[in-house]
Structure 1
Amino acid sequence: MADSNTNSVPVTSLALFGATLDDLRQVMATFGQPKFRARQLADALYRQRANSLDEITTLSAELRGQMAEAGYVVGLPELAQTAKSVDGTERYLVRLADGETVETVWMPGGDGGERGDGTEAAHEEETEDPATLYKRATICVSSQVGCAVNCQFCLTAKLGIRRNLTPGEIAGQVAAVLNRHRVNIGTGKGQGNPDRINLVFMGMGEPFLNYDSFMAAVKILVNEMGIPSSRMTVSTSGILPGIERYATEPIRPKLALSLNASNDTVRGEIMPITRKWNIGALLDAVKAIPLSKREYVTFEYVLLGGVNDQPQHAAEVLALLKGMQAKVNLIVWNPGPGVPYEQPTPESADRFHKLLIAGGVPAFTRRPRGRDIYAACGQLKRTVEAEPAPQLVTIASMA
């Protein structure tokens, strides 16, 4: 699937972060260096997460000087601004080489989104063993500057689409945040006990409208940085060709489909993309994904007060997902300025949750993280000024 709905991406050819091993071999060849130097450079970029050429001490000072003179830089994105929530969540305004910005979020302890999907990350979420809480965190990563999908309940939609991110800009967000928190991924000898990091590609943008760059970033994160794909989740609004390509990938994150409505009428009103690919077509594509016995597809469902949170909607969701290896993550809508929706009452959200469980579908309510700093799901909007915190609604059941 060709990338669409974006302007061309300005690429800094001399930025090293994001380059493949073959690319780095070519770089080293221009300086008359043997192939093994490329492996040393890759290890410095991705395993050691060097911020500058000066930190790559496996290469000689002379070679580093030659590279700098030729214009080569590591090229990690800059964490230009940080906002910290009362719950410990941090939202970063990330500045890219061309001056564009995206937002990335660090959630210590996670938000409960992994529960029920059969992975090690899910086990950690479900047991909440105190031994696993230290440096267990989730990073929410952006894939585009803005977004073209125009979901009506999401603040990012108001930005429109500006451009796709490159593989280095996507994976670079992760590296920059890991460096800020001095996270030990545990790759290589003598690294000690690794910290537990989960990645969710649920930030700004639609990953499957930037498919090639997104998957290239995943390969960097898995093969070079050492983060297992089982600790990654990609969220799509329902880009059918992207789901079909995803199903054929040998290395892929877990899939989360933003369902958000129980029928095409309601979904078409809040997610215009439904008019191109309806719920039935999306479910058929999901059913074709070769899942392992313990693997579940997550269906995300943002609860909007009076719109999609009634008992008949829960019954329709149960009918849609009958017989599938599926779980539902419920998200109480996170408010934002200029978005004309209301949060569900705690009673209606709790009732919806219990109806799904009673109907035999595993359902979990995501913990809201960082609402007071506009870091929660649907709130990322390249914030550069302080704003009043939105009103909060919590629900009783988190099981």
Structure 2
Amino acid sequence: MNEIINLSNPIVEAQPLFGASLQELTGLMENLGQPPYRARQLYEALYAQRTPSLDQITTLPATLRTTLSSAGYTVGLPELLQTARSIDGTERYLVRMADGETVETVWMPGGDGGERGDGTQAAEEEEHPTHDDDDYKRATICISSQVGCAVNCQFCLTAKLGIRRNLTPGEIAGQVAAVLNRHKVEVGRDRINLVFMGMGEPFLNYAAFMDAVRLLTGPMSIPESRMTVSTSGILPGIQQFASETIRPKLAVSLNASNDVVRESIMPITRKWNIAALLEAISAVPLRPRERVTFEYVLLGGINDQRQHADELIALLKNLRAKSQAKINLIVWNSGPDMPFHEPTPQDVGIFQKRLRDGGIPAFIRKPRGRDIYAACGQLKRTLESPPPTPLVEIAL
């Protein structure tokens, strides 16, 4: 949260409360002459109850709500400006922040199979789904961490945007709250997984990302074992991540079996090569049965041949020997003016079998929302300068 505004200043700007810590809210209540328990009431309303507006926080006196509003405070959840719905049920949202910047967030009912083989309860649900889906919701939310992205992966549409700015902890966790509210999710009953795999590189916005994780695991009560963060391989971020006591599962976008190919599609390899990444990843302490996920986007004729699979097996031999690695194969999702093509189904099948025969659990991630540009690598801010209009349902 930004610094608490001076209540004596007659010129106030909108100040979102969502994203503030309990300590910050306690300081605010003290400034207003309120007892400390009012901070706890506000904290629970913001995060546990996900109350969207101050006037709906009925645990606070009406006079206090009026005082907060007059001082410029709002709950400040990001706004779901537009939504597009896929034929497979996936929803892609254009999400607007208080300053007008937009990102995209995705809701995938049933998930996309990304957790399979990672050794967690979420994986168990993916691998052995039950037939009582009418009794609860099971879905995955894909969250953005930056407006745009600076990493410049050549196969990703988000890279074409460049980087605009980092998101705050409240804007990151707020995407989750806004989507949970839209679908009336009951945390603790419904089975929701979070993947930090939307727009941006989370480890280039590390402090805000981890503060958002603490909000999500703390007052919002979503277990860390139901979260996965994907990084393109930011070495200092991986090293810092290894020391965290509360952390999501780790996924690394590898996408190549050698540095030459990886550098051609992921220029960041010039700074940190594959060997350096694997060394840092091997130092991340894993939970019992947990595996690091290596994401591998298959690009036809570039990284999808048998020799590439054999190189991958050799690369991951140490992690493979300790049963600490799995690979998610992602068939490239096309985009306009992109110089790539999808691999053939035969090549995908051969590649997966070769990895499995080499002792690496390899899964093909199910593409979700391809028809609405909601799949991996397709998020691109549908509107560059969205007008201030309410949520619009786009039938595609």
TM-score by length of structure 1 reads: 0.91
How far apart, in 1, do the equivalents of 2:132 and 2:367 lie? 23
Partner of 2:371: 372
Cα contact 2:14–2:72 (8 A) shared by 1: no
Cα contact 1:124–1:132 (8 A) shared by 2: no
Structure 2 counterpart of 1:298, from 293, 307, 311: 293
Cα contact 2:291–2:326 (8 A) shared by 1: yes
The equivalences for 1:18-33 within 5 A come to: 18-33=19-34
Give the secondary-structure state (helix, strand or coil) at the position aligned to 1:130.
coil
Gaps of 5+ in 2: 1-12, 385-392
Cα contact 2:14–2:74 (8 A) shared by 1: no
The equivalences for 1:62-77 within 5 A come to: 62-77=63-78
How far apart, in 2, do the equivalents of 1:245 and 1:212 lie? 10
Runs of 4+ in 1 over 4 A off after TM superposition: none
Gaps of 5+ in 1: 1-11, 187-193, 390-399
Give the secondary-structure state (helix, strand or coil) at the position aligned to 1:51.
coil
Partner of 2:261: 266
- Aligned identity (percent) is 72
Amino acid in the other structure paired with 2:312: V
Cα contact 1:132–1:196 (8 A) shared by 2: no
Amino acid in the other structure paired with 1:167: P
The equivalences for 1:194-205 within 5 A come to: 194-205=189-200
Q: 1:252-280 deviations in whole A, cap 9, x for unaligned?
A: 00000000000000000000000000000
How far residue 13 of structure 1 moved from its aligned partner, in angstroms, is 7.1
Q: 1:302-330 deviations in whole A, cap 9, x for unaligned?
A: 00000000000000000111131100000
The equivalences for 1:270-349 within 5 A come to: 270-324=265-319, 325-349=324-348
How far residue 131 of structure 1 moved from its aligned partner, in angstroms, is 2.4
Give the secondary-structure state (helix, strand or coil) at the position aligned to 1:213.
helix
Structure 1 counterpart of 2:142, from 140, 143, 150: 140
How far residue 128 of structure 1 moved from its aligned partner, in angstroms, is 1.4
How far residue 293 of structure 1 moved from its aligned partner, in angstroms, is 2.9
How far residue 244 of structure 1 moved from its aligned partner, in angstroms, is 0.1
How far apart, in 2, do the equivalents of 1:289 and 1:132 lie? 35
Alignment of 1:127 onto 2:128: yes
The equivalences for 1:1-399 within 5 A come to: 14-131=15-132, 134-186=136-188, 194-324=189-319, 325-384=324-383
Give the secondary-structure state (helix, strand or coil) at the position aligned to 1:212.
helix
How far apart, in 1, do the equivalents of 2:382 and 2:128 lie? 35
How far apart, in 1, do the equivalents of 2:257 and 2:24 lie? 46
Give the secondary-structure state (helix, strand or coil) at the position aligned to 2:73.
coil
How far apart, in 2, do the equivalents of 1:58 and 1:363 lie? 50
How far residue 27 of structure 1 moved from its aligned partner, in angstroms, is 1.1
Give the secondary-structure state (helix, strand or coil) at the position aligned to 2:139.
strand
Q: What is the count of residue pairs matched by the alignment?
A: 371
How far apart, in 1, do the equivalents of 2:65 and 2:256 lie? 54
Amino acid in the other structure paired with 2:352: H
Q: 1:148-200 deviations in whole A, cap 9, x for unaligned?
A: 000000000000000000000000000000000000003xxxxxxx1000000
How far apart, in 1, do the equivalents of 2:112 and 2:104 lie? 18
